[in-house]
Chains A and B, each alone.
Chain A
Amino acid sequence: MLFSYLKIAWKVLMRRKFFAFISLFGVSFTLMILLVVMAMFDHLVGPSTPAKRVEQMLFVNSIRHEIVDGRGWMNMPASIHFVDDYVRRMKTPAKVGISTGASNATAFTKSKLLPLDLSYTDGNFWQIMDFDFLGGRAFTEAEVKAAQHVCVLNEATARGYFGTADVVGRTIEIDLKSYRIAGVVHNVSAAHIFAYADVWVPYTLSPQYYKDNRISGEFLVVMLAPSAAAVPAVREEYRQMMRRVEIPNPKEVKALFSYADPILASFTRAMLNHKDQSVDDDNLEAFYLICGGLALLFMLLPALNLVNLNVTRILERSGEIGVRKAFGATGHDLVGQFLVENVALALVGGLLGLGLAAGALALVNDAYPIAYAHFSLSWRVFGWGMLLTLVFGLMSGVYPAWKMSRLNPVVALRGGGDQK
């Protein structure tokens, strides 16, 4: 029966080529845009190099200081004191690493100035993140402790400075300081704010490396849980730990708030934060609700257009509906048939949308909007795309199918469209 439905769906589609074009264009264009957005989203928060084990990772991007007398809030990254004396003493994380957001640095070659993004990290950072090394290695915790002038370069910097990526053991001068190159990695997308840089050096060389008891500093913290299942336990221990943090300047700061979040939650907490920041809500549900609502709204217009076209098409097929009912089709059979037809149409549109999205992403990649970012359609995005297509097909098919099933067979056989 399904094959019969699909056969007639194809025939009907081919009979009305203009209708088919309009329908498919609406479906595929909408899906193209949604897929491009999803591919970018996936690139940002999905598992990819170097955050391959992202589902085991928790991120701390700021500590919120509540200023006394209701004078407001201050969000600052963590200090080494906070990391060493509180975070690293936690029992549940397998590893705790730190890095700074990329800051500007400059290297000079013989002929030109090479602007660089530089990040300070510790040794654990390299064990939590899975960089693809072209050569050499990461710097070790011992080298970090000894504040040795070692660095890891990305491929673009190695080639830009030396003309080759085979530079392990050589020396590079950055901001008038010399660093021995320990390793060279593949370029990392600037969308990975916790890991991106052109050059990484030990945090012990950072001018912001203060050894006093201040809480705020410049470090982003990344924790690796032993497994994805252990993530909630790490989050909870971090919550408990925050209650014990001693405020160094209680005359100025009333309270401190900080949360260890999975990658997406770390963004949503910052983006959609509450007025009362003491509320522990990562806003993930609100984010999904907003995204889902926007996607549905975005799909609603072409779906309504398709509904309208489908309802009109019913009148043309009233004879067929009458015949099917006369020969024993129930309303449910007809709803099933029309939904199959519509979902099949939507799936064709979905596949076209995937093709269009691949083309659009190639154009976006060529435009190079984010350094070293390469947006692509993963299987996960493909799966989401097909799910969206299915939702689209059902959204635009349910009402016409229901209307179709209500046609009075006698009237339908006469060629009319009145309902029972």
Chain B
Amino acid sequence: MENLLATPTQSRPQPLLTSPAAGGTPVLQLTNIEKVYQTSTIETVALNRVNLTINRGEFVSIMGPSGCGKSTLLSLMGLLDEPTSGTIAVDGRLVTSYSDRELAGLRNLKIGFVFQSYHLINDLSVVDNVEVPLLYRPGMGGKERRQRALAALDKVGLGARTGHFPGQLSGGQRQRVAIARALAGGPEIILADEPTGNLDSVMGEEIMDLLLGLNRQDGVTIVMVTHDEQQALKTQRVVRFFDGSQVG
């Protein structure tokens, strides 16, 4: 099968064949980020003056205890939420200058998400799930969508399960489908929120190896939230959080 995933999209830079050293081209820049959740009775500071730069081709782990703001940070990086204050820049351009529609387009082109609880659509087959991001890609026909989805499934070793439904797969297989979905659109960045959190250690290792391979061989930038110290140590950089603040 043609390696569709290796074909760069129109606005996607050429993937790096090897992992670059830290200090390369910034792809995501968070400056003085604060995120405060306000209710009528209480104000919760989820993130406090966070400054973080993710360079192209990096594999960064974000660690910290539960409730320290890791997932909030990932949502902000994924342009799913807005900070209370501070700025986020993608490829050097502030996202405050984007409209909602442009933000959706940016997410579609540049970012792939992997969630702890997979978030597959149970009513759709494996291959249809993987096609979801491509449905929102302007000008892409059904045939190309299917080819790209199949190529992504091949890449994660699920080429033989395309017609299955999520309910028929193990946890590890579901997470592979989720990774294939994140890959299908050829994103520059994959944001993974505890991708091995629901898996046993063997399956967790498999998923970790898969992510490492994507980073090292295809140059995909990965930011991963994890509780697992061993897995974090396999990545290039570990960023630690405590009570909403970056501590290391």
Contacts and interface: CB of A to CB of B under 8 A. Distances in A.
A328 B80 contact: no
Chief secondary structure at chain A's binding surface? helix
A4 B141 CA distance: 12
- Interface size for chain A: under 10, 10 to 19, 20 to 34, or 35 or more residues? 20 to 34
A331 to B, nearest CB: 7
Interface stretch (B54-62, B123-131, B150-158, B226-234): B123-131
B80 A329 contact: no
B230 to A, nearest CB: 27
A328 B132 CA distance: 9
B80 A327 contact: no
B81 A326 contact: no
A330 B123 contact: no
B181 interface: yes
A4 B185 contact: no
A413 interface: yes
A328 B81 contact: no
B36 interface: no
Nearest to B129: A323
Contact of B128 (A7, A324, A326, A409): A7
Contacts of A410: 75, 80-81
B52 interface: no
Contacts of A11: 123-124
Interface string A24-53: 000000000000000000000000000000
B76 to A, nearest CB: 9
Given A3-B142, A325-B104, A327-B107, A413 B115 contact: yes
B136 A329 contact: yes
A217 interface: no
Contacts of B119: 319, 322-323, 413
**B81, B109, B136, most chain A CB atoms within 10 A:** B136
B108 A327 contact: yes
Interface residues of B, number: 28
B100 A330 contact: yes
A408 B37 CA distance: 14
A329 B104 contact: yes
A8 to B, nearest CB: 5
Contacts of A320: 121
B234 to A, nearest CB: 25
Given A325-B104, A327-B108, A410-B75, A8 B121 contact: yes
A90 interface: no
B200 to A, nearest CB: 23
A327 B187 CA distance: 10
Contacts of A328: 104-105, 107-109, 133, 136-137, 185
A323 B132 contact: yes
A419 to B, nearest CB: 14
Interface of B: 75, 78, 80-81, 100-101, 104-105, 107-109, 112-113, 115, 119, 121, 123-124, 128, 131-133, 135-137, 142, 181, 185
7 contacts: A7-B124, A319-B121, A320-B121, A323-B132, A326-B107, A333-B136, A410-B75
